[in-house]
Structure 1
Amino acid sequence: MTFDDLQLQAIPMGRDLLLIITGGEVHIGAASTAYWTDQGTEVQTSAVPGHKEHTLSGDFAQRVAGELNRTVTVVMGIHYDDLSQAEIKSIVAKTDSLLEEFLKQQ
């Protein structure tokens, strides 16, 4: 499986930024917001029970907020049936690549 339908949408919201990362059966699995404080970036994550996108969304939000110096929310919903560990690693690599490509364009 090539996971060619994985995508990242960026929606500016004033000074803030919303990133939506989806693939397969689109849904909301997790949402993470990273924002600046006096101690650096903080992240708050909300995950739908039974979903695993939160394992990526918090890190992604923190990376983008740190690099772009703005508040960032990442909403992720990726679902494919019966994935192997190798396929999960492929999805992680592809979503990371989408995020890196987005950051290069900023």
Structure 2
Amino acid sequence: MTANYAEALTLEEIEVGRDKLIIIKGGEAHIGAVSTAYLVHNNPIRVKVETMSVPGHKEHLLTEKFARQCAEHLCQTVTVVMGIHFDHLQRSEIDQIVSLTESMVASFLEGKV
């Protein structure tokens, strides 16, 4: 099966006061994991990340990384919610989806303060 995962994946940003909520989803959307990263020290910047995941889901491997990356870059509290599900993925397809989500987050952060 050849799928166009780039078209199926989305990243949505929601301002929540001075904080940011980022939702990354694709395929059969759901909540697989949630990570919140917040500043614990400003100079140098140090971030702490808290994560919760639904048993059996692997999105936490990405939400932790993305929440930390965004909080450090934006110097604000960031929560990343992720739920991506496609049936019967091969390892190469999972790797493609991981690469695509990494690119989406990098593009999102480009040009932001």
Larger Rg, first or second structure (1 or 2)? 2
Residue 77 in 1 paired to residue 87 in 2? no
User: Relative to structure 2, which stretch is displaced further, 30-39 or 6-15?
Assistant: 30-39
Q: Offset at 1:105? A: 4.0
Q: Offset at 1:14? A: 1.1
Among candidates 33, 41, 50, match of residue 44 of structure 1: 50
Rounded Cα–Cα distance in structure 2 between residues aligned with 1:79 and 1:55: 15
Map 1:59-70 → 2, pairs under 5 A: 59-70=65-76
Please report the RMSD computed on the Cα atoms of aligned residues, expressed in angstroms: 1.0
Map 1:1-106 → 2, pairs under 5 A: 1-3=3-5, 4-38=7-41, 40-106=46-112
What residue identity is the alignment partner of 1:2?
N
| Greater than 4 Å deviation, 4+ residue runs | none
Q: Offset at 1:40? A: 1.1
What residue identity is the alignment partner of 2:13?
A
Rounded Cα–Cα distance in structure 1 between residues aligned with 2:111 and 2:15: 14
| CA offsets 1:24-66 (integer angstroms, 9 cap, x no match) | 0000000000001138100000000011100100000000000
What residue identity is the alignment partner of 1:71?
T
What residue identity is the alignment partner of 1:99?
V
| CA offsets 1:1-39 (integer angstroms, 9 cap, x no match) | 221110000001111000000000000000000001138
In structure 2, stretches of 5+ residues that fail to align are none
Q: How many residues align?
A: 106
Q: Offset at 1:89? A: 0.4
Percentage identity across paired residues of the two chains: 50
